[in-house]
């Protein structure tokens, strides 16, 4: 084999391994496998318990959006009822997009309480997993036109991991 062919194969293997690497946000203390490079943004928001900053990470295609967001709530003002807080986060998301919930249930990530829900309207559907880690709320989601495949859901959500 000639050297240029070997160099080409090594280069392609390098690109393939880079494409499979997880997106890391060490300030947000998480890693996740997006289908491509996400865009990032942050915005300050007023809430009933004070001002917070919402951090968002999104990868968009023509028909879908993969999203991770997180917000740190003031620990001294956080509702001790985690299920209520998670339900309120779900309701806020669903109401903002005018969706109808078709499936929901409480879940865990390690020892952290969470909620999973599926919602849709006549055009789009979403599946979300929200987790409360201390006073930080993570919201992971896929929103797309049409039905979301179980494999797409599992590939994205199961790649999520907390980092220190």
More confident residue, 79 or 64: 64
- pLDDT at residue 46, rounded to an integer: 85
Mean pLDDT for 92-96 is 94
Residues facing 69 on adjacent strands: 56, 139
Whole-model pTM: value is 0.84
pLDDT band, residue 164 (cuts 50/70/90) = confident
CA distance 15 to 12: 5
DSSP-H helix ranges across 46-143: 82-97
pLDDT in tens, 3-38: 544 443 333 343 443 445 799 999 999 999 999 999
Q: Is 163 left (phi over 0), alpha (psi -120 to 50) or beta?
A: beta
With CA atoms as reference, report the closest residue to 36 among 45, 23, 49.
Answer: 23
pLDDT band, residue 70 (cuts 50/70/90) = very high
pLDDT band, residue 79 (cuts 50/70/90) = confident
pLDDT in tens, 101-110: 999 999 999 9
Number of other residues whose CB lies within 10 A of the CB of residue 99? 19
């Amino acid at each position: 084999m000639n050297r240029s062919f070997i160099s080409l194969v090594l280069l392609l293997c390098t690109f393939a391994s880079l494409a499979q690497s997880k997106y890391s946000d060490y300030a947000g203390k998480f890693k996740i496998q997006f289908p491509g490079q996400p865009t990032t943004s942050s915005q300050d928001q007023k809430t009933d318990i004070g001002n917070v900053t919402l951090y968002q990470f999104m990868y968009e295609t023509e028909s879908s959006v993969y999203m991770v967001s997180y917000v740190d709530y003031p620990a001294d003002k956080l509702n001790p009822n985690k299920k209520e807080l998670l339900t309120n986060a779900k309701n806020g998301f669903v109401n903002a997009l005018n969706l109808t919930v078709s499936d929901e249930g409480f879940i865990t990530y390690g020892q952290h309480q969470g909620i999973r829900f599926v919602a849709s309207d006549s055009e789009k559907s979403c599946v979300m997993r929200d987790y409360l880690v201390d006073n930080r709320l993570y919201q992971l989601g896929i929103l797309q036109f049409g039905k979301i495949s179980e494999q797409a859901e599992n590939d994205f959500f199961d790649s999520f991991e907390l980092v220190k």
